Structure 1
Amino acid sequence: MQEGGKVAIFDGHNDAAQHLAEYREGGRDFLVRSEDGHLDLPRAREGGMIGGLFAMYAKAEHPRQGDFTRTADGYEVRLADPLDAAYARRTIDAQLSALATMVARAGGNIRCATTVDEIEAARRDSAFSIVLHIEGAEAIDADLDGLARLYARGLRSLGLVWSRPNIFGHGVPFAYPRSPDTGPGLTDAGKALVRACNELGIMLDAAHLNERGFWNLAAISTAPIVATHACAHAICAATRNLTDRQLDAVRATGGVVGFNFSVSEVRPDGHRDPDMPIETVVDHLSYLVERMGDDHVALGSDFDGALMPVPLRDASHLPNLIDALRARGFDDATLRKIAFDNWMRVFRQSWR
């Protein structure tokens, strides 16, 4: 717990790096409170968030139009095209540089962390911790050139894919209602990447990975299985969510699912409607805890990367979730696990 009754929260996923003023013209100053987007340092502090995994991600260089189709009972989004590797490398390098510049400008109020001890030290000093994550491994070549370089620059978490194919595997297309079993599994290069990340101590993220790829990862990896931002397919039958069998596999390896706040993954009807009560969020998170146990559920908001429920419309409103979980009967020990401790345990088991 923190002073004033707030729970210290480490968040498993956000996309703030893509909105930094240091990265793109018209971007936000992370150090200044904004009414735009979901996350900046002042709003994080208001909500009790003391750090998080910051995702670097390369958007399509030439976005397609007309990919969304409304179906009789839901929606489908055509699977995104693969990225050019050179473009992806330039994009990730630019986001790495932007984050480093922002951290330097913060004057010690923000620190990049590569160990749990560094996260804990920053917390004691009331500093905010950033752990570097890449969402989609397009910036890494098939011979894994660059992986060690990224590790040396602080990378500690890697999503093998986003929702598109790459040389390592296949992401799930966005769709509802649909199974996550949407295509082939990891390639030989993808399996080699899993082994290399295990050896280096880079945590692997199964979010956005299709089901066959998930089972390939589960069969190969020597580290706990992690999905940084996902929900339960049994509650919301979106492709991005994990089936009960997948949730059981995460639990069996000592892994963690970071509960995703994205409304179209939380709502049982899959609708992109943020006008939903906090009880709907708590119902879904409670299912994960009931299925997996409280050692295997954490938070992975997807702030600045998805549509948020109104009660969790930005990081300053995180206490709404904590209060609602407490009202549901979650005790302080369980809240500490979900908000902070479970991420720290998995980091210790995954990092070198």
Structure 2
Amino acid sequence: MTLGTQAQTVTVRVPGKINLGLSVGPLREDGYHELSTVYHAVSLYDTVTVQPSDSWSVHASGPWGEEVPTDERNLALVAARTLAKRRARKAKVHPVRIDIDKHIPVAGGMAGGSADAAATLVGCRELWGLDHLENDLLEMIAASLGSDIPFLLHGGTAIGSGRGEHVTSVLARGELHWVLWAGEGLTLSTPEVYAECDRLREAAGETPAAPQPGGALMTALRRMDTDEVAAALHNDLQEAAISLQPVLAEALAAGLDLGARAGLVSGSGPTVAFLVGSQTEAIDLSVGLAANGPTGDIVRAVGPAPGAQIIHQRTSPEPTRARPDTDRPGPLGPVIG
């Protein structure tokens, strides 16, 4: 923000995520499962705009806009109110209108709601002129609201532990090309998928061990070798997601038959992510899936992508004393595990 100005609207772009590896451990006392996951942000973005208003509200548009709750269940609204409550005594905060242009599938395993919450935290921090040094507060609020939100503040590729909220960045040079398939009308409840995973394990007599990140995947990411990454992808929730939505098996088979290097359900599903070797392969697979796969929305994406970033803001004169330019908010720094 420049000297003597105050933001009136702030627009933030935020990516969706897929899980390159997801190991699900035992159920914890707090009701969550112990996890070890490798997050990977991809270039499928929501944009979130915040601006001052007389009352708190959420409005959604875009391809998935009709699926977004705009009442008290909306995680972006919860994030804004939580940040306002925590900083009300130290800064002049006010209700905001939140506009979400929704391109990340809803209830699709790509953390779309968490992405919007992360974007809202970044946007409101700028809108309300909160000190850039309060990154720790944003991290704390993000972790308290959802397991995926801390990662989406940063993006890139990272290991998640605990219930997923503790993130440590992974050095991964280069890029990976993806084709994402989201079945028409398909949604999956994350708690339902975890419950199905527990049921299947119990039926098979399996006792989950403490989860650990896969060494083969870490090595493949350091080299960013597509075939090595493809061989190391895994998701402990995939069997449960397919059990609840069998069409996912049909989509996976179609993508692999059409030449994908690998395919897996993203997180708790039902979005399916196919890894390919290049943009040309991504185009070919997209066309093939549209013609021969089960009905669904198909998009191409590249990862890793940056986390929540301010892409536009409109300002107006500020009547109060301007802060020094060195105190202005800036991009979030690297993740520290």
With structure 1 as the length reference, what TM-score do the two structures score? 0.25
Query: Of the two, which has the highest radius of gyration?
Result: 2
Higher strand share: 2
With structure 2 as the length reference, what TM-score do the two structures score? 0.26
RCO greater where, 1 or 2, for CA within 8 Å and sep 6 or more?
2
